[in-house]
Amino acid sequence: MNIVRVWQLALFELTRLFATKRGLLALAAFAMVWLMILRYPIGHAVPFLSSPQFSDLAQELAGNIGLRELVSWPQAELAIFWLIALYSFPLFSLFVCSDQTVGDRQRGTLRFLRLRSTRDEILLGRFLGQFIILTSLITLTALATLGVMTYRAPELLLSGFVLAFKLAVQLSIVVMPFIALMSLLNLISSSSRLSIVLAILLFTLGNGILSLVTSYLPFLELLFYAFPGVQLFDLAPQAGVPVVLWLIPLVQTCALLALSVFVFRRRSL
- pLDDT tens string, the chain, 269 residues long: the values are 788 889 989 988 888 888 788 788 888 989 999 999 988 888 776 666 666 665 666 666 666 556 667 777 888 889 889 989 999 999 999 988 888 888 888 888 888 888 888 999 999 999 999 999 999 999 999 999 999 999 888 999 999 999 999 999 999 999 999 999 999 999 999 888 899 999 999 999 998 999 999 989 888 888 999 999 998 988 888 877 889 999 999 999 999 999 999 999 987 76
Count CB atoms within 10 A of the CB of residue 171: 24
- Local structure of 251: helix, strand or coil: helix
Q: What is the pLDDT of residue 54?
A: 58
Cα distance between residue 72 and residue 36, in whole Å: 24
Q: How high is the pLDDT of residue 219? A: 87
- 257: nearest Cα among 169, 174, 181: 181
The predicted model scores a pTM of 0.91
Measured CA to CA, the distance from residue 219 to residue 168 in angstroms comes to 35
